[in-house]
């Protein structure tokens, strides 16, 4: 940390934020709340240079963003406003143009969107020597070349929250790979919504009743099919597969959703009305698993170069078999962790937990300068896995 007249000087980190939905807003709030911690422990001050949503951007005015202005932008967004409609807002041609215009030395580009439209901006940022942090899975699950372009930027990119929110899943995977430990199998439950559903089925409730309850409680997306289709879990599984070193495209992930194609085009209300027609099918699946001394879980499984996602019967006394509720869990089986796997379990969703994970990625990049998210990365997570 630099000293100025005997006082500790903060090192500023310019930050461009794409996405001011739930995670982006939570991240902005947490950065403002943690100013003292970052200053006192790390000698760091995160300085926003541009805030962007799909409508437009607010670029830092002369003199920079004040805390009051940032709080006002948060209020504007939380009230349903767009950045283009903010008094300082303006439109932009593409995320890439923001990086071109605003990115300077030491910039961190943070992607909290849910879009693949940021791909070119992220690759440009890395090409210019900026750092990149993603909560957005889509850039990592488009074509392999894009993943390689991001993951190959050692010390400049992190994406811990793309699999398991704040859980150290990516860091653990990287530790295993970088040590030369051969990963033989990964199995995981990466959806709190689907974990809740499987728990309900195990307790004897019907499929339709449990889905409807999850919908009422707000555990599902506004359209429950966004959860029940399994695509989000498949993206997480693909990120892990590529992290192992497999060259794999999304269409190679075998995905078994929880509703038939005939229900894909129904309205949400009609979909919910039709759910009881699936109850018998799931009663039979649960009964079949029980007869084998197993339980049903919606799991991602990576083994022998293949990746599948869907309802899976697992041993009742396994970590996945003992899992209940909305927690996420991942089992790593490797040369050193076998027959008992290395297990990570905990809250794997929620905007606050995800935003905290993004903030941790930002701060760790500033503190290390050499630790990225490529296979060579080694990050300390000993106290968080068991």
3-state secondary structure (DSSP) of residue 313:
strand
**C-alpha to C-alpha distance for 380 and 201, rounded to whole angstroms:** 37
Asked if residues 324 and 296 have their Cβ atoms less than 8 Å apart, the reply is no
Q: Provide the token pair at 268.
A: 């949400």
**C-alpha to C-alpha distance for 115 and 112, rounded to whole angstroms:** 9
The alpha carbon of residue 375 and the mean position of all alpha carbons in its chain are separated, in whole angstroms, by: 18
Q: Which of 182, 174, 304 is nearest to 239 (CA)?
A: 174
Q: Please tell me which residue in 77, 138, 236, 294 is annotated as part of the active site.
A: 236
In 217-372, at which residue ranges do the beta strands (DSSP E only) sit? Answer: 254-255, 294-303, 306-315, 328-334, 342-346
Peptide bond into 353 cis (omega under 30): no
Q: In sequence order, which residues have a C-beta less than 8 Å from that of residue 154 and are 6 or more positions away?
A: 370, 372, 374, 376, 377
Asked if residues 331 and 342 have their Cβ atoms less than 8 Å apart, the reply is yes
CA torsion through residues 40, 41, 45, 51, sign: negative
- 236 counts as catalytic: yes
Q: In what order do the strands lie in the sheet with 342-346?
A: 254-255, 306-315, 294-303, 183-189, 328-334, 342-346
Number of H helices, E strands in the chain: 16, 15
Which residues have a catalytic role annotated?
Answer: 236
């Amino acid at each position: 940390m630099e000293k100025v007249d005997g006082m500790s000087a903060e090192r500023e980190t310019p930050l461009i934020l794409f996405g001011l939905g739930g995670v982006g807003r939570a991240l902005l709030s947490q950065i403002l709340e943690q100013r003292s911690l970052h200053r006192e422990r790390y000698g760091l001050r995160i300085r926003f240079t541009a805030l962007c949503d799909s409508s437009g951007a607010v670029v830092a005015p002369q003199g920079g963003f004040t805390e009051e202005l940032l709080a006002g932008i948060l209020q504007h967004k939380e009230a349903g406003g767009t950045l283009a409609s903010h008094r300082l807002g303006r439109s932009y041609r593409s995320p890439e143009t923001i990086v071109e215009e605003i990115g300077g030395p030491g910039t961190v580009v943070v992607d909290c969107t849910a879009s693949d439209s940021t791909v070119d901006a992220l690759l440009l940022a890395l090409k210019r020597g900026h750092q990149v942090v993603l909560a957005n899975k889509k850039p990592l699950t488009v074509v392999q070349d894009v993943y390689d372009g991001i993951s190959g930027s050692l010390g400049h990119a992190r994406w811990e929250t793309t699999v398991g929110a704040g859980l150290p899943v990516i860091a653990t995977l990287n530790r295993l790979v970088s040590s030369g430990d051969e990963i033989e199998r990964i199995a995981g439950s990466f959806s709190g919504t689907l974990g809740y559903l499987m728990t309900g089925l195990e307790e004897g409730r019907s499929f339709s009743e449990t889905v409807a309850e999850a919908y009422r409680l707000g555990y599902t997306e506004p359209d429950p099919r966004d959860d029940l289709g399994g695509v989000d879990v498949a993206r997480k599984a693909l990120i892990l597969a590529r992290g192992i070193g497999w060259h794999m495209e999304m269409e190679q992930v075998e995905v078994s959703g929880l509703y038939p194609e005939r229900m894909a085009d129904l309205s949400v209300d009609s979909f919910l009305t039709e759910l009881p027609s699936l109850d018998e099918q799931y009663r039979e699946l649960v009964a079949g698993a029980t007869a084998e001394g197993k339980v049903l879980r919606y799991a991602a499984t990576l083994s022998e170069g293949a990746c599948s996602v869907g309802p899976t019967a697992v041993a009742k006394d396994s970590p996945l078999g003992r899992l209940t509720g909305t927690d996420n869990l991942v089992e790593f089986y490797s040369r050193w962790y076998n027959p008992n796997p290395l297990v990570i379990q905990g809250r794997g969703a929620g905007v606050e937990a995800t935003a905290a994970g993004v903030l941790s990625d930002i701060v760790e990049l500033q503190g290390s300068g050499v630790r990225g998210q490529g296979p060579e990365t080694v990050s300390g997570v000993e106290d968080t896995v068991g």
